[in-house]
Amino acid sequence: MEEKSMKKIAIVLVAYALAMAFLVGVATTASAEDKIVEATVSRKIEKLDRNGNPICLLFVAQEHTLQGVSYTKDVMASCFGAVVPKCAAVAEGETVRMIVSPQQYQGSETFLVRHVIQ
């Protein structure tokens, strides 16, 4: 009798663990959707990566609020491949609209630029 109830408890625990793993997986992938950002470029860096390919880093000002306190911080937007010429054409101080994929790098939010909207 005890063996059957132990098996039932084990099955229920395994099912619960699988369900929680699924929910955590859905929550983390749902937060990685692309979004449109419109921001002012505070700094721009153009350089070559270690393979000799051009890249462009745009630092854009983003408004944030923490416990009722509003502040501005620069978020790095990385441009690679076919997007580099459009990013390189943007001047510092200019407002840019772009489609980005939000990412985390060492605890800070960064953007991977997918497309620059003209």
**Bigger pLDDT: 6 vs 36:** 36
The pLDDT of residue 24? 55
Q: How far is CA 44 from CA 11, 49, 51, in A?
A: 56, 15, 20
- Does this model's pTM top 0.85? My answer is no
d(CA 69, CA 48): 38
**What average pLDDT does range 61-83 have in this prediction?**
92
Report whether 83 contacts 116 (CB < 8 A): yes
* Mean pLDDT estimate for the chain: 84
What digits encode the pLDDT tens for the residues 33-54? 899 999 999 999 999 999 999 9
The pLDDT of residue 46? 96
CATH superfamily of 35-117: Nucleic acid-binding proteins (2.40.50.140)
